[in-house]
Amino acid sequence: MTTKSILCVGAGEPGLPAAWEVVRAATPTEARRHYKTRPCAVGLLLVQEADSCAELGTFLLEHWNIHWTAVLPPSLVAHSSWRQLLRDHCHDYHTWPADSVRLRHTLGHALGMAALRADGELPTASEATLTGASAAIMRLRRQITKVAAASAPVLIWGESGSGKELAAQAVHAHSPRRKGPFVPINCGAIPASLIQSELFGHERGAFTGALREKRGLLESAQGGSVFLDEIGDLPMELQANLLRFLQEKTIYRVGGTRSIAVDVRVIAASHVNLLQAVQRGAFREDLYYRLNVLALDVPPLRERRDDLLPLAEHFFHTFSDERAPRVKGFSSRAAQAIRDYGWPGNVRELINRVRRAMVMAEGRLILPQDLGLAAATAKCAPLQLDDARVRAERDAIDASLLRAGRNITVAARDLGVSRMTLYRLLAKHGIPAPSHARYNGAPSE
């Protein structure tokens, strides 16, 4: 991929130089496919009057690591929703008809800014991202964008397995410190007798077995970010040392007498309520307020119901090299079981169950028992015949949309109905229509 690679989304001819590699996509759906194989650092959004602001906003949130420039009709700039989209997602914008000279200058500046990223490389599709399109995860993405630009400590709260480290990685990856290292430390996994040496390092001869000096984990994160996971498990005596570091930005190695300046950003996380821990006397109040400058809450999986099936499908493809060759996807009953389950172990549990099912499934489609959810499904109250028919119909629609990648035309063909009939069924069951439906021939709203 060249440094002059631009993802161009939408209809229109802005007059770009032939020397630039332009990856063209007529729709956001097509752009998503292109980006998976040909990631670009700069994007050009060609907006027309009929385009959906909400749909493009969703697309831009998914691709927030791209430097976007928009070209749109002057009339749209008068609408508050479009102005908000430009403020939140675009580095610059132009109006139609596009002035090709000015637009090339804008895109050239965006390419130059993108080239300043770590090692001069452009971002890849494997960058730390938070998968999903639910309202909860979209809100978290917006918060991360704001938090990443600052330099203050970040405190992330979330249940075990909800993705706190992934959120921390996203903060680092989109911050000015992205060139530096990201050092994760599980404060609950290091033995109490070693944690001070591990965090702050030690000098030669500081204790029996210290044959040479050692840099601590905080020092190894110089110029980057350190992620202190399960900060609530940090012993009280170490909390005082960490507080001193946050205040003075210096450390003392174990057995050392000289202070060492360390420039790192601290991102901490906990699955317990630290304020309650402060009230119990298990966590220092002054350290709590030092850490809790910028706060993020990672939503549990039960609050991301719209993400359940897309996440399951994502992990199915992520670990595709582990699955039995005959296994092709999820059955409608498995999809329903995924929706009905409470997921106390959050995303980590979903990953484990999907990976197990991919190996243990005996048929072409994964069943609830392959996921270990048959017992949970059996506990559900018996359904009346009419309810069973409604659920079966909904399951068939959901499974078809999942197989079709949320493409209305393909799903309707799979179900043996017309697109209009499928739209009526979606409305009947309260299933949200795919956001890119208009590009599949659906009637505009």
DSSP string, 391-412: HHHHHHHHHHHHHTTT-HHHHH
pLDDT of amino acid 354: 94
Question: For 127-141, what is the mean pLDDT?
Answer: 76
pLDDT of amino acid 130: 75
pLDDT of amino acid 191: 77
SS3 64: coil
- CA 178, CA 174: separation in Å to the nearest integer? 6
- CA 278, CA 204: separation in Å to the nearest integer? 36
Question: For 187-196, what is the mean pLDDT?
Answer: 77
Token pair, residue 193, equals 């007798």
Does residue 11 carry a pLDDT above 90?
Answer: no
Does residue 396 carry a pLDDT above 70?
Answer: yes
The residues facing 10 across adjacent strands are: 46
Query: Confidence band (pLDDT; 50, 70, 90) for 375?
Result: low
pLDDT, tens digit, 9 for 90 and up, residues 13-35: 777 766 778 888 988 888 888 88
Does residue 41 carry a pLDDT above 70?
Answer: yes
For the chain, what percent of residues have pLDDT higher than 90? 25
Average pLDDT score, the chain: 82
The DSSP letter of residue 341 is S
Helices 164-173 and 135-149, packing angle to 10 deg: 40
pLDDT of amino acid 441: 39
What sections of 156-209 are H helices per DSSP?
164-173, 195-200
pLDDT of amino acid 337: 92
Is residue 76 within 8 Å of 47, Cβ to Cβ?
yes
Residue with the bigger pLDDT between 116 and 177: it is: 177
Question: For 224-249, what is the mean pLDDT?
Answer: 89
pLDDT of amino acid 428: 77
The residues facing 7 across adjacent strands are: 23, 43
Does residue 436 carry a pLDDT above 90?
Answer: no
pLDDT, tens digit, 9 for 90 and up, residues 312-358: 988 888 888 888 878 888 888 899 999 999 999 999 999 999 999 99
Model pTM?
0.58
Is residue 28 within 8 Å of 63, Cβ to Cβ?
no
CB proximity list for 428: less than 8 A, separation 6 or greater: none
Does residue 154 carry a pLDDT above 90?
Answer: yes
pLDDT of amino acid 119: 41
HSE toward the beta carbon, residue 217, CA cutoff 13 A: 19
The DSSP letter of residue 183 is E
pLDDT of amino acid 120: 39
Question: For 412-416, what is the mean pLDDT?
Answer: 83
- CA 153, CA 242: separation in Å to the nearest integer? 12
